[in-house]
Structure 1
Amino acid sequence: MKFLISTTAVLTLLVRNGVAQNITSDTHFYGLSPSIPPALLPSGTTDSWAAAYSKATAFVAQLTQEEKNNLTYGQSTRNGCVGWIPAIERLGFHGLCLQDAGNGVRLADGVNAWDSGIHVGATWNRNLAYQRALHMGSEFRNKGVNIALGPVVGPIGRIAEGGRNWEGISNDPYLCGALAFETVRGIQENGVVTSVKHFIGNEQETNRNPSTNNQSQHVESVSSNIDDKTLHELYLWPFQDAVHAGSGNIMCSYNRINNSYACQNSKMLNGVLKDELGFQGFVVSDWGALHAGYAAAEAGLDMVMPNAATFWAKNLTASINNGTMAESILDNMATRIIATWYQFSQDSPDFPVPGVGLPKSLPAQHVFVDAKSPSSKQVLLDSAIEGHVLAKNTNGSLGLPLKSPKLVSLFGYDAVAARTNPSTAGPTSRSSQILNSTMTVAGGSGANNPSYISSPLDALSQRAWEDGTQLLWDVTNINSTAAVDAASDVCIVMLNAWATEGSDRPGVHDDYSDALVINIANQCNNTIVVIHNAGVRLVDQFIEHPNVTALIYAHLPGQDSGRALVSLLYGDSNPSGKLPYSVPTNESAYGDLLSPGQPEGIYYLFPQDDFSEGVYIDYRAFDHANITPRYEFGFGLSYTTFSYSSLSITPISGPSTAEYPVGKIVEGGQEDLWDVLFRVTASVTNTGDVDGAEVAQLYVGIPGGPAKQLRGFEKVDVEPGKSVEVSFDLTRRDLSSWDVGAQKWQLQRGQYGVFVGASSRMLLLVGSLSI
């Protein structure tokens, strides 16, 4: 037992006479996750869910034990579905198709390649996130997908080198949760279920799965050891928003949580997700994440993917037949799955046949199903544009926007379109860049297939044709020897920072690419750097070079990449993106959170990762340690300027300010957590001479917590010389901290700092409120 937990002290607290204790005092880690009994079958938190459960109960009553079991046990493929639940045709159930991913339909033709999660985060635009999801969800539906495997809200970006950070939305739980809410809402309005992932604490790719080491010893997945307060205030927050939005599915992750595998962790699945958050749908495993038999079913897992015959399939029914598992557990699982099918009206005759547009193999003969909508074009482009962040700009005679250049020189390995579809392109191991290919998306199951790619070179060539400009380019990867035409008005250098599922990044900068920038900047007095980055990318080796006049973090914009970039470079669009993470000046700023944890010492076979920093990641950590970042969370420049004034903080009469919520459980938790207690307003004025959009941000200092935490944002278009009022509603949840003893959100008595401004460190208006 001592090898399964992180400290001997935790063992003493958690195990008495061999029995696990449900510790509710805030010892730093649970260490050993407590056992929670199976959650009761929901009766429905809304009228529609109640009706769905009534129908599902009647449906499941007609099934044989084998048919019920088959609902919980997925197949690996059918047509092009990455997961498949077989049909029960005698009752009109045509099966379920599960398909990747959070950024568009994967491994398919007739679909669009949408911008990735990190790019959505950089837009800071709720409505645009909703519109993107609405159109993307339509493509999933038209392809016959019942369950879209996204969005990603975990990892949240705790580890700077995390290989899947780009699939998530933001390192801040509030921003991540707010845009995940809109994503769930938009996709599910099509009748397609969202599978919000990965639940929970899945913050690194290193040791995410069990493995065999070079001594032929079995090594377990890494254990994310998270205390209860940190869990609720950081990692659970965006999942709570997704459940509140009505998500019908949650995907459990590969890692262990406090030494219990996520897909058999009863504290997380039964206790937190199904009981505390009132989750109405069903839980599916990540692919290959099951490591137990009936114990995982009792812990709250409802469906396994794929082909886990070693643990489930006939073994699950055998457990019922030999009396080790109650049949009511299987009934509960099957009913949750069928209730979700009814909730999203997938029993309707007009819902497409599952997998109808997903051929098993694209080269094989198949019927082409064009899932795209012409109305999606503008949303695709707007999303691509708004996720770019202008981080540096001289904004004078040099820099951006470009001012009728006669000769443009383009350099860098990121400028040209991929030679194969991005869903199959790119390095598969630890690598800093994807060479000789513009990066519209990163790697792994979150990659997507474009219907075309507008590359930077293609788009600049088109603009050169339109303007009569001379365009020169050298996009080979021999980066330190490229020569610049001395007559160049501007030199654009295209870099990328690659990441992929399955491995963590080798670093957050690379000398190879930085050398290219320095070489060009040494020859060109107007050098603009554009980075397609799948995570944080440091720039300090070149950013203060006097000839580097502008820097754009271009993130992962999808198939309209080049078209969006050129629109911004030439001022047809005004940059409005803001960083959804912080960029420090050096790797040392991250401390232990730079690289993934590695197994060591007596825990070599049972890797432990103690989340000892609590909620202090990203800007919270830099504030706490008094570290000044290069570019702070929420930062982004525009071609115009804005001022802030007229801060007002108004208590809202009506909602109770009792210490703890008292409301009934709805999807997401107690219903009065969303009561508005205060309204904050301010005025934003465009003090420049061009139209622009500003993201006004509200931060709150909760007594006893971090100095400030994001608790509101609003993106507004403002004409030159005009002012627009922004308004932020502060809910009970926004102003509460998690009380471990009470197991509830608790309003803190005292004075809260209130800050409004343009970024986490550019807070121009300061006030306070008292509770």
Structure 2
Amino acid sequence: MRPTIATALLTCAGSALAQDFSHDGNYGAPVSRKNSGPMATGFIMSDAGTKSHQASPPKYPSPWGEGLGEWAQAYQQAKSFVSQLTLEEKVNLTTGTGWELESCVGQTGSIPRLAFRALCLQDSPVGIRDTDFNSVFPAGVNVAATFDRKLAKARGAAMGAEHKGKGVDVQLGPVAGPLGRTPEGGRNWEGFSPDPVLTGVMFAESIKGIQSQGVLASAKHFIGYEQEHFRLVSDSTGYGFNISEPNSANMDDETMHELYLWPFADGVRAGAASIMCSYNQVNNSQACQNSYVLNYLLKGELGFQGHVVSDWIGTHSGVASVLAGLDMTMPGDSAVYNSDDSYFGANLTVAVLNGTVPSWRIDDMAMRIMAGMYFVEGNRNRGDINFNSWSLDTYGYEHFYVGGAIGKINDHVDVRGDHGTLIRHLGAQSTVLLKNIDNTLPLTGKEKLTAVFGEDAGSNIDGPNDCSDRGCNNGTLGMAWGSGSANFPYLVTPDSAIQSELLSHGSAYESVLNNGALDSATTLARRANVSLVFANSDSGEWYIEVGSNLGDRNNLTFWGGGDELLDTVASQCNNTILVIHSTGPVLLEKWANHGNITAILWAGVPGQESGNSIADVLYGRVNPGAKLPFTVGKSRQDYGTDILYTPNESVPQLNFKEGLFIDYRSFDKHNTTPTFEFGFGLSYTTFSYSDLHVTKLNASEYVPSSGHTNPAPTYSNYSTDPADHLYPSNFSRIPLYHYPWLNSTNLTQASGDQHYGLPGFIPEGAQDGSAQPIPKAGGAPGGNPMLWDVLYRVEATVTNTGSVAGEEVPQLYISRGGPHDPVKELRGFERVPIQPNSSVTFCVDVTRRDISSWSTFEQDWYVRNSTKMVYVGSSSMNLPLSAVLP
């Protein structure tokens, strides 16, 4: 590296068919493209995958895990365990016991004979759901805004430690789906960013952090889950929508690989032990029984070695799902919660006995589950489950939904540690400074009269946990709603934190915390030296409706009269500061250009230390260095995508016609100027960029993976006599509990499922346990290892030209040069601290993957023969340095 005047030097961081089987069809036909691929031939993104009723091709058999890469030892340990199991014990590992019957939101059956307690699966991606004495962390969208890998991993580790302390085995997170195709998407906040690279990095680091604590990360939701509307029939019919199946995300092969699959490849490469499949369909085949996405993409191309678990009630069949790659069903119930039937359980036992599900497949299911346990937990002891998701009482029913014996159900273990300090820091580090006229910020705390306005600054008068799963928008937005929520141990409001700050300086403070009190706001704002207006925009999961918003936001404006309040205050005070809490973009064009609004901050969904975090930024203890993880457009139409709010067919068809062009890629394509671009964020200091250098490194030519797998192994024998699989004598059953045993020796009668035992419904190759070809793009967890070969090293100098220390996020973008490619795509970033009048070297390793395109014809990655540019700067629209990649 070249010497600089830096005080620090960085190193490179580099369908519902009659039988529910995936069906035949064209997933995205190749179309000729001149001079753009191997031997001057390439393939454009085909419209075939963006039309209604697009079909997902069948891909069988379901690949069996082989202990690839770092998984070898875990598979050896799992083999020793699984080889001891009976058929029923294997089935128990794969089947949830039923909704609200055990302590966790999801639990499998246990194996008492081997002293193996049930597996506990628990939400959520921001903290432990439905318990107490746990922390509430900033949302994923905040983590993305930090552009800080270390913070992502630290947050993951802290969450993993808390789950471990409660006895949880599988944390249901982090989230890379939804990616954020539409800015109104209800669960975008659980994930990270509509940019696949930023999401992929934060996703992978979060997984590493969680699993470092001995807790399996269940990376979700796989795949194409980009809106709440019509994700489930039960949700939809409850609101009068007449649909017959969940919505179908229809996309072409290039879009799948280059956009939505990208971060999951990072997650698998990082060692994710579990993947949760999603509610929606993909090209008109249910995601949790879609053989193309589960068998071919996930387990084949990406070489995933862990287990696939359904989202809750996301399983739509038994044999069809198993053969298509589903390894575990949750919560075990079939079509509705608290049903006394399961697609797995005894029905799976029947399917194995009658040969519909081959023995190697049930073995693989058990192996994948146990290998994940050994891969993550090693030989660490699993603690007892010490909480109950259905009641915070100390004593209660052992099986909540059906009653039973009363005993101690909660130990109220405090698992928070010192995580509040991390949460406060992360909240401040994720706050984005969008506007700061004449150095309005930071404030001194000595302003004569500071006024705070807005319900978003105050508390929910009924308590921060008053609304189930945070399903309301009362008080400050510290967390959005849905299964991705958790109970607050406390919530520091901006009102309380700012008041404490000012009182410590002897300053005057007043607040109006009612958005509708416009007369009071007018009077106070007229007197104030500085007015702080807090406004928010919330979203969540569809099973809760908030203000007529069914999960997805109905608009991109402030909620609860926030715009009117802001307009009122700004008309009276020429030093008005806007602080935004939101789950995604909010339209800000009017406020960005308002002469009396001197500063704007986006603080996202910051968790329990919300007030302290924003006070640290407002009063200069933290110099903001975060960047927008999405684009703020001037109008809703600028994004080019939107939610389908009304069904267009009985099976709603979501046609991803925009392909790769979401968020800033769409703005670039259409030459649309946003209010604030992706990657934008100001500081209390200034930075300059210079001295771009690109070095081409020696790397081997790309070699597609080839060869075959080993034949499918089996690990134990079992009796094929149904009489040997009946319920044990004198067995006491728990009502609605899903057991693996049979109640009849008549397999058809015992099945109770028309899909079982009917060979005509079995797809070709689904039962084939012979050696299978390895996909060209596969070969290891995450994909072909040569995709991560470093081809170039890019370096640039970043200098702090201001008078205070600060942190900058230099960003590297690449143009792949194809006529149908995005103008530019993020490919590298680093958050760097820089002292005044000092410089650092920003260094990024550019991998083969970074410049590759997906060939629908070859079904592999290739580097197009085109001129490729590299850009470096402070945001997606401020890129002063550029060079051609040699």
Shorter-chain TM-score tier: over 0.9
Are positions 1:612 and 2:657 aligned together? yes
**Which has the higher mean CA deviation after the structures are superposed, 477-486 or 150-159?**
477-486
> 2 CA distance for matches of 1:217 and 1:117?
33
Amino acid at match of 1:369: V
Asked if 2 retains the 8 angstrom alpha-carbon contact of 1:491 and 1:520, the reply is yes
Give the equivalent residue in structure 2 for 1:67.
89
Among 584, 597, 613, which residue is 1:564 paired with?
A: 613
Aligned residue for 1:194, secondary structure, equals strand
Are positions 1:155 and 2:178 aligned together? yes
Asked if 2 retains the 8 angstrom alpha-carbon contact of 1:528 and 1:548, the reply is yes
Alignment of 1:749-760 (within 5 A): 749-760=865-876
Distance 1:130 1:342, change over 3 A: same
Asked if 1 retains the 8 angstrom alpha-carbon contact of 2:137 and 2:607, the reply is yes
Aligned residue for 1:58, secondary structure, equals helix
Amino acid at match of 1:223: S
Give the equivalent residue in structure 2 for 1:723.
839
Aligned residue for 2:155, secondary structure, equals helix
Asked if 1 retains the 8 angstrom alpha-carbon contact of 2:459 and 2:493, the reply is yes
Amino acid at match of 2:455: Y
Give the equivalent residue in structure 2 for 1:404.
446
Give the equivalent residue in structure 2 for 1:188.
211
TM, length-normalised to structure 2? 0.81
Give the equivalent residue in structure 2 for 1:332.
364
Offset from partner CA, 1:497-530 (integer Å, 9 cap, x none): 0101112111011472111001001111100011
Give the CA deviation at 1:419.
Answer: 4.0
TM, length-normalised to structure 1? 0.93
Offset from partner CA, 1:120-151 (integer Å, 9 cap, x none): 01111111111111112111111111000000
Distance 1:190 1:564, change over 3 A: same
**Which has the higher mean CA deviation after the structures are superposed, 282-291 or 308-317?**
308-317
Alignment of 1:653-732 (within 5 A): 653=698, 655-658=699-702, 665-704=779-818, 705-732=821-848
Distance 1:360 1:490, change over 3 A: same
Give the equivalent residue in structure 2 for 1:635.
680
Are positions 1:297 and 2:322 aligned together? yes
Distance 1:583 1:663, change over 3 A: closer
Amino acid at match of 1:274: K
Give the equivalent residue in structure 2 for 1:51.
73
Asked if 1 retains the 8 angstrom alpha-carbon contact of 2:515 and 2:565, the reply is no
Amino acid at match of 1:383: L
Give the equivalent residue in structure 1 for 2:732.
none
For structure 2, which runs of at least 5 residues remain unmatched after alignment? 1-14, 31-44, 335-340, 396-409, 543-550, 706-775
Distance 1:426 1:582, change over 3 A: farther
Amino acid at match of 2:655: D
Give the CA deviation at 1:3.
Answer: 10
Asked if 2 retains the 8 angstrom alpha-carbon contact of 1:176 and 1:238, the reply is yes
Amino acid at match of 1:684: V
Among 367, 374, 381, which residue is 2:411 paired with?
A: 367
Instruction: Report how many residues are paired.
Output: 744
Distance 1:660 1:394, change over 3 A: farther
> 1 CA distance for matches of 2:850 and 2:626?
24
Give the CA deviation at 1:84.
Answer: 0.4
For structure 1, which runs of at least 5 residues remain unmatched after alignment? 5-13
Offset from partner CA, 1:180-227 (integer Å, 9 cap, x none): 111011110111010110000000000001246588955211000011
Asked if 2 retains the 8 angstrom alpha-carbon contact of 1:412 and 1:494, the reply is yes
Are positions 1:504 and 2:529 aligned together? no
Aligned residue for 1:274, secondary structure, equals helix
Amino acid at match of 1:500: G
Are positions 1:533 and 2:579 aligned together? no
Are positions 1:742 and 2:858 aligned together? yes
Aligned residue for 1:392, secondary structure, equals strand
Give the CA deviation at 1:484.
Answer: 3.5
Asked if 1 retains the 8 angstrom alpha-carbon contact of 2:535 and 2:581, the reply is yes
Aligned residue for 2:377, secondary structure, equals coil
**Which has the higher mean CA deviation after the structures are superposed, 402-411 or 300-309?**
402-411
Asked if 2 retains the 8 angstrom alpha-carbon contact of 1:699 and 1:755, the reply is yes
Give the CA deviation at 1:696.
Answer: 0.3
Among 244, 256, 260, which residue is 2:281 paired with?
A: 256
Give the CA deviation at 1:660.
Answer: 5.7
> 2 CA distance for matches of 1:29 and 1:560?
48
Distance 1:142 1:765, change over 3 A: same
The Cα RMSD (Å) is 2.3
Are positions 1:434 and 2:473 aligned together? yes
Asked if 2 retains the 8 angstrom alpha-carbon contact of 1:142 and 1:357, the reply is no
Aligned residue for 2:572, secondary structure, equals coil
Give the CA deviation at 1:759.
Answer: 0.1
Aligned residue for 2:795, secondary structure, equals strand
Offset from partner CA, 1:461-489 (integer Å, 9 cap, x none): 11122111100011013143323434411
Aligned residue for 1:329, secondary structure, equals helix
Give the equivalent residue in structure 2 for 1:136.
159
Give the CA deviation at 1:310.
Answer: 4.2
Give the CA deviation at 1:658.
Answer: 3.9
Amino acid at match of 1:51: Q
Give the equivalent residue in structure 2 for 1:10.
none
Compare CA radii of gyration and give the structure with the larger one: 2
Distance 1:280 1:532, change over 3 A: same
Are positions 1:241 and 2:281 aligned together? no
Aligned residue for 2:809, secondary structure, equals strand
Among 19, 43, 47, which residue is 1:28 paired with?
A: 47
Give the CA deviation at 1:428.
Answer: 8.0
Aligned residue for 2:424, secondary structure, equals helix
Distance 1:34 1:459, change over 3 A: same
Asked if 2 retains the 8 angstrom alpha-carbon contact of 1:484 and 1:520, the reply is no
Are positions 1:483 and 2:522 aligned together? yes
> 2 CA distance for matches of 1:616 and 1:21?
22
Aligned residue for 1:588, secondary structure, equals helix
Distance 1:50 1:156, change over 3 A: same
Among 319, 342, 365, which residue is 2:374 paired with?
A: 342
Distance 1:210 1:684, change over 3 A: same
Distance 1:80 1:385, change over 3 A: farther
Are positions 1:762 and 2:878 aligned together? yes
Give the CA deviation at 1:659.
Answer: 7.8
> 1 CA distance for matches of 2:246 and 2:415?
38
Among 547, 569, 584, which residue is 2:633 paired with?
A: 584
> 2 CA distance for matches of 1:216 and 1:152?
28
Aligned residue for 1:338, secondary structure, equals helix
Are positions 1:42 and 2:65 aligned together? yes
Give the CA deviation at 1:447.
Answer: 1.0
> 2 CA distance for matches of 1:358 and 1:703?
55
> 2 CA distance for matches of 1:675 and 1:216?
50
Asked if 1 retains the 8 angstrom alpha-carbon contact of 2:65 and 2:364, the reply is no
Amino acid at match of 2:426: S
> 2 CA distance for matches of 1:112 and 1:35?
43
> 2 CA distance for matches of 1:586 and 1:746?
37
Asked if 2 retains the 8 angstrom alpha-carbon contact of 1:22 and 1:35, the reply is no
Alignment of 1:63-142 (within 5 A): 63-75=85-97, 76-77=99-100, 80-142=103-165
Asked if 1 retains the 8 angstrom alpha-carbon contact of 2:232 and 2:246, the reply is yes
> 2 CA distance for matches of 1:427 and 1:251?
20
The percentage of counterpart residues that share the same residue type is: 42
Alignment of 1:448-467 (within 5 A): 448-467=486-505
Asked if 2 retains the 8 angstrom alpha-carbon contact of 1:428 and 1:500, the reply is no
Amino acid at match of 2:90: K
Aligned residue for 1:698, secondary structure, equals strand
Give the equivalent residue in structure 2 for 1:522.
571
Distance 1:274 1:447, change over 3 A: same
Among 647, 651, 664, which residue is 1:599 paired with?
A: 647
> 2 CA distance for matches of 1:139 and 1:427?
19
Give the CA deviation at 1:43.
Answer: 1.9
Are positions 1:199 and 2:252 aligned together? no
Offset from partner CA, 1:391-429 (integer Å, 9 cap, x none): 111034x45444631210011011113345656538988
> 2 CA distance for matches of 1:2 and 1:564?
47
